[in-house]
Amino acid sequence: MARTADKIESLIADDSAMADALAVVYDRTDGGSERIEWADVNDELTSGQWGRLIEKDVLESVDDEFRLKDPGAVEAALDDEPTTTVSTSTTDVDSDDEEMEESSWSKWDKLAAVGSAGLFLGYSQSSVRNIVGSAIEVLVGPIDAVLPFYVVVLVLALLTGLYSTLLQANLMDMDKMSAYQERMKDIQDKRKEARERGDDEALEQIREEQMDAMGDQLGMFKEQFRPMVWTMFLTIPVFLWIYWMVLDGHVATGEWEIVAPLIGEARWTTKVLGPMQLWIIWYFLCSMGFTQLIRKSLNIQTTPT
C-alpha cells in the first residue's frame, strides 16, 4: 500500500532505530504472514517504538493481536529498495502525515460539531428551543402521553446513555490511544533515567522528542473529542426537549411534583444544588447510572489500556 510505504519511509527518516525495530517485527511475523503481540517483541523493542508502529498504521489490530499491514513495503524499506511512491521531499512526507491526521475526522464529524454548536443556542434562544422542542415532541409525545413525566425522563436517560456508550466504543480507536499513552510513558521513563545519570545530551534529545510528541497529544485529543461531538449532537436535542417541557409549562398539571430520593416532595423547578433545578439533577443521575450499568453489562471499554 502506497501510504504505508510513505509512513515507513517517514518513520525511518525520523529515527534510524526504527529500521531495526521493523526488522525484528518482520522477522518474528515470518515475513508478515503471522500475527504478533507486544509480548513477542518487548525484549527487542521499546514501548515507544511499538506505539509508533501502531500509531502510523504499520501494524494493524486483528482481534487481540497485530499484523503488518503491508509486508511488501516493510521488506522494501529494509532492503533499501525504493518504493513506488517514495516522497520526493520532506514537505511531501509532512503533508501526508497532516492529511492522515485530518482524515481521522470525516466531513460528517465536522458537520456534527457545527450542528452541536448551533444547538447550544437553544439554551439561551427561545426560538431555537421552541423549534427543537416541538420537533422532538413529535417523537417523544406519544410516550409522554402514556407515561408519567419522570418516567419519560428516565427512559430518555437510558437511551442517551446507551448510544453515548456505543459511540465511544465504536468511534474511538483504543489502539491508537494506547499507542499515544505508551509513547508518552516511554519518553517520561527515558527522561527520568537520563536525569538520574546526569546525561545532559540525552536530556536534550528527549526534550526534542517531547516536542515531536506534541502532535501525538493533539491526535489523542481529537480521538477523545470525536465521539463526544456525536454524543452532544444527539443528546442536546433531548435535553432541550426536557428544558422546553419544564420551562414553558408543557408538563401535565398533576406531574409537576415528584417524591425524589434524598430530597422528598419537590417541583421540577425546585433548586436542589445551587442554581441547578430538580429536573437537571434527575436527568443526570439517571443518565450516569444507566451509562455505568450499560458499560458493565455489555463489557464495553471506553478507556485505553
| pLDDT tens-digit map of 191-210 | 888 888 777 777 788 787 77
Q: Other CB atoms closer than 10 Å to residue 183's CB: what's the count?
A: 25
pLDDT in tens, 290-304: 888 888 887 776 665
pTM of the model: 0.53
Q: Which residues in the chain belong to E strands, given as ranges?
A: 59-62, 65-68, 257-260, 264-267, 271-273, 276-277
For the chain, the farthest-separated pair of C-alpha atoms sits apart, in whole angstroms, at 79
Residue with cell 422546553: 244
**Distance (Å, rounded) from C-alpha 284 to C-alpha 278?**
10
Residue 78 reports pLDDT greater than 70 = yes
Indicate if the pLDDT at residue 278 is higher than 70: yes
Check residue 84 and give its pLDDT: 38
How far lies 87's CA from each of 77, 96, 103, 302, in Å?
13, 9, 19, 37
Q: Which of 10, 13, 8 is nearest to 25 (CA)?
A: 8
Q: How far apart are CA 195 and CA 231, in angstroms?
A: 43
Q: How far apart are CA 72 and CA 162, in angstroms?
A: 42
Distance CA 117, CA 106 (A): 17
Q: Rounded distance, CA 240 to CA 184, Å?
A: 40
**Per-residue model confidence as pLDDT tens digits over 141-187:** 888 888 988 899 889 989 988 888 888 777 776 777 777 777 778 88
Q: Report the chain's mean pLDDT, rounded to a whole number.
A: 77
Confidence of residue 3 (pLDDT cuts 50, 70, 90): low
Query: Quick check: helix, strand or coil at residue 168?
Result: helix
C-alpha distances in Å from residue 4, one per residue of 11, 26, 96, 144, 223: 10, 14, 11, 53, 21
Q: Decide: 136 and 240 in contact? Cβ < 8 Å.
A: yes
Average pLDDT for 223-252: 84
| Whole-Å CA distances, 197 to 104, 191, 201, 202 | 40, 10, 11, 10
Q: How far is residue 238's CA from residue 153's CA, in Å, rounded to a whole number?
A: 9
